[in-house]
Structure 1
């Protein structure tokens, strides 16, 4: 590797530092740094493991490090210790001596001999003495918070909403790396044909039992496949795939997809319409609308029209009662996607949820005006917060007597998750390994 490019552990440190300083998203940074530092082959997997593992286990790692650190350290030094301890404690294949050597070399390069000596001393002391026991934490919620590395306020909130057993399950699931899933574009190809194509290219894939259009990728990234390039599939989480089915679509309908970027659900809706009708996809950010447009072009879907619009101003652009169906995939706290974006859990605060609820209400109020009588409105979020989800839909129904709960339409393979006749579903990450997701359905009176 050339000297100008950073190696795996230096790159991991660069990403962790940027997340702390700039509140940047881990998934976006990872791709940028892989390209910038020309990281290839197995090193990509190692970098991903170190970055996500260190982020996922941050509170646990800090608890383990605490007795060995006597003073406040610079952010980069703390992150170097975290990522080094993560490898020593959680990764079996990397010998401690290699981790120690790399840590000291990086400390010398970034700092000075004193910092290198401190890093060496802390890691060697942990090697000799071992990490402190979590059993020393007597309060069960505090122990769960540290053991599963979820902030205490979040653990307390979930325990109050769902009980301790479910909270433990959810926290544990959030520490497991997700399996990549993809949705087959059945307007172009069958699932069996896509599976065969991918296997011929060396991907390890299997059909999903959750949805008939879904495949699970066990090895490889299908974003680099011919099938992806030809528009035969879209990378999408299975929980997110469920949403389009709940719209109870028929051909030639006109659909509004509010807050549509990056366009995964938009594409799925257009595919379920079988190229008929029209999907009006809107988003407030122009660069994200370009993503929707390029995605529609790749998939060969001409029934998508994407435009820049604040969803809180929908009725200024569209006439009242023009849409057969409306999807409001609302901006939310994102607490259902902590496996993919572990950095979220350390920056979110309870007051963020209250602020988001107001934005969601404004979007729902506006969208409601443009739905035809007898039309269906689906509200969805990628969060698991009861107050944010049920609080929002209860307020909506209270403010809109013209809307009634409408039984959620689900594929047969998923009806077991739903109470019969219910209009709302909370999906947890532990249900089938998808994102935490909430979906609710309403019908406008005739």
Structure 2
């Protein structure tokens, strides 16, 4: 990239690429920022804001575009559609950018990329919106799935599902949290340091940042207002990993012990695998299995960086592990493929790429994986099932169905007493299970169930 490319140019390219390739915008964003010549944190912040915000608010923006463009937004060239979304996002949601500047910059991008007619269209749409802005006012308290979907920019089917599962008040809190930018959270590697020492070192390196211990994970650190922590020497030396606080609870709920023999059945990219090995004090054995060949290397690279030698990696479908593996593990973690509805803050594309039909197919896959995982647990051993979603069909209902078919397993509610008080007070606790919603701790939505295989 050359140094003439502005923050808005980079943001528009990311939005176009995400739409054309179906790639996650967070990956495209990280790659683009790394390759860009933007050195001012404000410019880099603007790229991030425009990309995430435009995607987060897509259906609200399209509602406006479809009423201002004669044949609707779908009739436009894809790049023009993305440019209009980005321009309208600035006008409707970014108070810090003057309307005149937003229109001027957006029209300038249209001129540089297309012919005069396109810049005229873009100019006309944006100015019409400003003249008629009251036409798109929404109720102060939306009370049905359509107005809620527009006010909080979620697909209507998803709004209905959340209202059915958690009630309207909680659904609104979840959607509002989904539209807020996520914090950066780190997991301390106790094989290298302790949390207090790491916090002190990070404060020295980033004096402008806020660095504080997590209230929900004993290894967690919440970091905001600093640089890219993946480039710090302490990261390369394995002092910490970047991981969401809710995700850290998976290994803490499983509570593996040094000397255990364990299996992480859907392990890539290896964050939870490494956390398990850290809690085992790098003693015992831990097999990390994943079906995706291109991701297996990520687990090995991560383990080497953290200095964790007990992790052995194999590319395999959990459902096809050899029969001799049956009943041979003290614990099995199944962090199952899921709809990902709990990580919308980090991957806003999920809102628009998932469908109810996809959830149904995932429920079938999860059921098969749970059956396979159950066969691998020793009598007296532990099976932990986790997802990063809030959909009951993938969580509580999935576990209830499993327990009904496998009476040798039972819920293990004893671990709940070990959880931090804040988690016990605010999360949704079941019989041996835990559901965290995004608004409760400003963390990812996560479900975790701990099950024991009874002896005899």
Please give the TM-score of this superposition, normalised by the length of structure 1: 0.95
Match of 1:28 in 2: 27
Match of 1:432 in 2: 441
Q: CA deviation at 1:417?
A: 4.2
Once the two structures are superposed, residues 74-96 of structure 1 have per-residue CA deviations (whole angstroms, 9 ceiling, x without a partner) of 22111101101111222233222
SS in 2 for 1:345: helix
Match of 2:68 in 1: 68
Any unmatched runs of 5+ in structure 1?
none
Conserved? CA contact 1:278–1:304, under 8 Å: yes
Match of 1:200 in 2: 204
Please give the TM-score of this superposition, normalised by the length of structure 2: 0.93
Q: CA deviation at 1:315?
A: 3.8
Bigger drift between 70-79 and 429-438 goes to: 70-79
How many Å separate the matches in 2 of 1:207 and 1:136?
37
Alignment: residue pair count: 444
Match of 1:336 in 2: 342
SS in 2 for 1:305: strand
1:118/1:124 Cα in 2 relative to 1: closer, same or farther (>3 Å)?
same
Match of 1:44 in 2: 44
Match of 1:324 in 2: 330
The 5 Å alignment of 1:282-297 reads 282-297=289-304
Bigger drift between 290-299 and 92-101 goes to: 92-101
Bigger drift between 181-190 and 103-112 goes to: 103-112
Of 372, 388, 394, the match for 2:400: 394
SS in 2 for 1:336: helix
How many Å separate the matches in 1 of 2:233 and 2:191?
17
SS in 2 for 1:441: strand
How many Å separate the matches in 2 of 1:181 and 1:440?
23
**Cα RMSD (Å):** 1.9
Matched, 1:148 2:152: yes
Bigger drift between 92-101 and 272-281 goes to: 92-101
The 5 Å alignment of 1:102-181 reads 102-131=105-134, 132-135=136-139, 140-181=144-185
How many Å separate the matches in 1 of 2:435 and 2:143?
28
Bigger drift between 27-36 and 321-330 goes to: 27-36
Q: CA deviation at 1:63?
A: 2.3
1:14/1:420 Cα in 2 relative to 1: closer, same or farther (>3 Å)?
closer
How many Å separate the matches in 2 of 1:445 and 1:370?
13
Any unmatched runs of 5+ in structure 2?
none
